[in-house]
Amino acid sequence: MLDIKFVRENPEIVKENIKKKFQDYKLGLVDEVIQLDQSRRESQQEADGLRASRKTLSKEIGTLMAAKKKDEADAIKQQVIDNAVRLEALEELERSVAEKINEIMMQIPSIIHDSVPIGKDDSENVELEQYGDPFVPAYEIPYHTDIMKRFDGIDIESAAKVAGNGFYYLMGDIARLHSAVISYARDFMIDRGFTYCIPPYMIRGDVVAGVMSFAEMESMMYKIEGEDLYLIGTSEHSMIGKYIDSIIQEDTLPHALTSYSPCFRKEKGAHGIEERGVYRIHQFEKQEMVVVCKPEDSMAWYDKLWQHTVDLFVTLDVPIRTLECCSGDLADLKVKSVDIEAWSPRQQKYFEVGSCSNLGDAQARRLKIRYVGEEGKGYVHTLNNTVVAPPRMLIAFLENNLNADGSVSIPVALRPYMGNKTAILPK
């Protein structure tokens, strides 16, 4: 969320940013919120004047009463009463206008970084770099659920009976491989200096509103009936929420955290035939990175975060590429974002397995997360990045490590988490 002062003083910059995100329908919100802000400030000024006059008028009443000028004192008493009624009306007006301003400000997108490419949607995202050699073997790579079934590793049919579509049972070596990847990712990030955390899997509505846009909330979040609680769509939500309404000492920054959690998502809408199986499901697990830092450090941290994910995938023998998100593909709170895509030898193309985002001070302003130190104070910047998110990462792993005989090779880095096996064999 932007600073209202910035919007008031730079309306054309804000409008140009909206145009870059191809959200022209929001242009009118800028003028509307500026008018509301002017109205609020005028009301505040009048209310402050009435509050200041209250003490003066009270003294005047006392003086007149002492001089036995009752009629004049009564007239001023009536003025005090009228002022009190007016003040109450102004305070109510301030509250309603402030709510409307906040509602609009939460719809105005963050100012994107100057380096973000301009484009309407994800079809105009820009490839940055490839890591590893994408290959297509001479033998067939089956669909990922067919690979898993060779190991008796997945049961979607039973899960549908128990929970409906979008769920699955993982079993045997496939379930162990899933957990091994998560555990390896956890230790990988701990070794790189991140503090490991397991967060709450439910968060309150004020935290949800603080970490994401209305559109994201509607399409992603499951609400607990009768409670002010939502199931998290990613641990980033509760990790950032950890700092709500807090002041952090500058000398303790940055806070670099890696968190594990299950994730729950509605995944509304049609997503294409390649997203059957376990591409898009309602429940999955993920290892995440979250950083809270000073504003001047956030872009350096952004580059560090996505590089960590690149390094991890390289150790697992999965070719990947980084893809810069264009302006139209950025969620409203994001300043800059890069997707990590893994190579699919079956599809002979890359597909998304994670993303790294710098959200500037957008979440911090919404959640009132500030820092203070000898050099000043302000809002922190927040960043997040996927370390690994099975089962998508698991799909990429199986396809890229599948051998002609149907076995799946286990890279050296993962073997300690798989009982030192060099491969798993189909049943």
Q: Is the dihedral of CA 33, 35, 41, 43 positive or negative?
A: negative
d(CA 186, CA 332): 29
What confidence score (pLDDT) does residue 350 get? 97
pLDDT digits (tens, 9 = 90+) for 184-219: 999 999 999 999 999 999 999 999 999 987 777 777
What confidence score (pLDDT) does residue 274 get? 54
What confidence score (pLDDT) does residue 57 get? 84
Residue 354: phi and psi, rounded to 5, are 175, 170
What confidence score (pLDDT) does residue 268 get? 62
Residue 295: phi and psi, rounded to 5, are -55, -40
What confidence score (pLDDT) does residue 214 get? 72
Which helix (H) or strand (E) segment holds residue 154: the answer is strand 154-155
Name the CATH architecture for the domain at 122-424.
Answer: 2-Layer Sandwich (3.30)
d(CA 255, CA 253): 5
**β 202-203/230-231 pair status:** antiparallel
The segments of the chain whose pLDDT lies below 50 read 270, 272-273
Q: How many CA atoms lie within 13 A of 124 on its CB side?
A: 14
What confidence score (pLDDT) does residue 48 get? 87
Q: Could you say which DSSP state residue 276 is in?
A: T
CA dihedral 290, 295, 296, 297 (to 10 degrees): -10
Q: Which fold has domain 4-105?
A: Helix Hairpins (1.10.287)
Identity of residue 167: F
What is the domain partition of the chain in residue ranges? 4-105, 122-424
What confidence score (pLDDT) does residue 270 get? 44
**β 246-249/369-373 pair status:** parallel
